[in-house]
Amino acid sequence: MHGVCIFQINIENPVTMQSTESNQYYTEQQWHQWLDQLADNDFVYVDNFLPDDLYHQVQRYFKLLLNEQEFTKAGIGSSEKRQVKASVRGDFIYWLDQHQDEQLSPLFSLFDEVMYNLRQYLLLGLSDYEFHFALYPPQTRYEKHVVQFHGKKNRVISMLIYLNENWETGDGGELKIYQQNGKELLIEPLAKRLVLFKSDSVEHEVMVTNTGRKSLTGWLLRQPAALGQLV
């Protein structure tokens, strides 16, 4: 007999998955809609993505780190040829660590949710992520670039969550995205706003900021961060 044989596999609750829909911040429909846009345009942004409680917790933690002078000048180039050129990139950063920064575990759960859904909907082979806080002092910027390190081919998706309460037109520090159609788009760094874009193809820059500009910046990786230098 001719015909198509369909095997049904129950993938609703696979035991190996770290995150299931039931404990997610957002619904399947929301993720579907956002990640469709990411697939179509190579970027997407979502307003009020960071829930209120988490936002306040993150802000408090950011301030604590600043008081304790945990931020360091961000570098450009590979780890061997590390150079700090404020004219190219003026931010100060603090790399997050799941163990060191365990107080932020709800934030790491949100990162897990982003990873889980990118795997589900875009079938991306992601296995890890890396995130840092960033602070751009007034009159700093980050020049147009694609990926931060030429050797870092494991960065698949770039992710930003902005932390600028009361940001206003004229404050600067917008993220400029160079779109496939040749048009440029300015994304305001509004508190709680999420931006996702494809790391290898989307040219972008941070416009000169006139106020202190805060963000959470990260990359979803193709392989564990510790193996990054092998590629």
> Could you list the residues that contact ligand OGA (CB under 6 A)?
134, 142, 148, 160, 175, 204, 206, 215, 217
Question: In this structure, how many other beta carbons lie within 10 angstroms of the beta carbon of residue 168?
Answer: 10
Q: Of 140 and 148, which has the nearer Cβ to ligand OGA?
A: 148
In the complex, minimum distance from the CB of residue 204 to ligand OGA, in angstroms, rounded to a whole number: 5
Q: Of 117 and 148, which has the nearer Cβ to ligand OGA?
A: 148
Q: Of 111 and 142, which has the nearer Cβ to ligand OGA?
A: 142
In the complex, minimum distance from the CB of residue 124 to ligand OGA, in angstroms, rounded to a whole number: 19
DSSP state of 207: P
Q: Of 34 and 219, which has the nearer Cβ to ligand OGA?
A: 219
In the complex, minimum distance from the CB of residue 8 to ligand OGA, in angstroms, rounded to a whole number: 43
Give the tokens for residue 132: 């840092």
In the complex, minimum distance from the CB of residue 148 to ligand OGA, in angstroms, rounded to a whole number: 5
In the complex, minimum distance from the CB of residue 195 to ligand OGA, in angstroms, rounded to a whole number: 7
Q: Of 63 and 144, which has the nearer Cβ to ligand OGA?
A: 144
Q: Of 196 and 206, which has the nearer Cβ to ligand OGA?
A: 206
Residues 6+ apart with CB under 8 A from 196: 34, 38, 43, 44, 45, 114, 157, 158, 159
Rounded distance between C-alpha atoms, residue 181 and residue 32, angstroms: 24
In the complex, minimum distance from the CB of residue 94 to ligand OGA, in angstroms, rounded to a whole number: 13
Label residue 146 left, alpha or beta by phi (over 0 means left) and psi (-120 to 50 means alpha).
alpha
Rounded distance between C-alpha atoms, residue 111 and residue 129, angstroms: 8
Rounded distance between C-alpha atoms, residue 158 and residue 43, angstroms: 9
Classified as helix, coil or strand, 135 is: strand
71, 93 Cβ separation under 8 angstroms: yes
Tokens 């709680």 belong to residue: 192
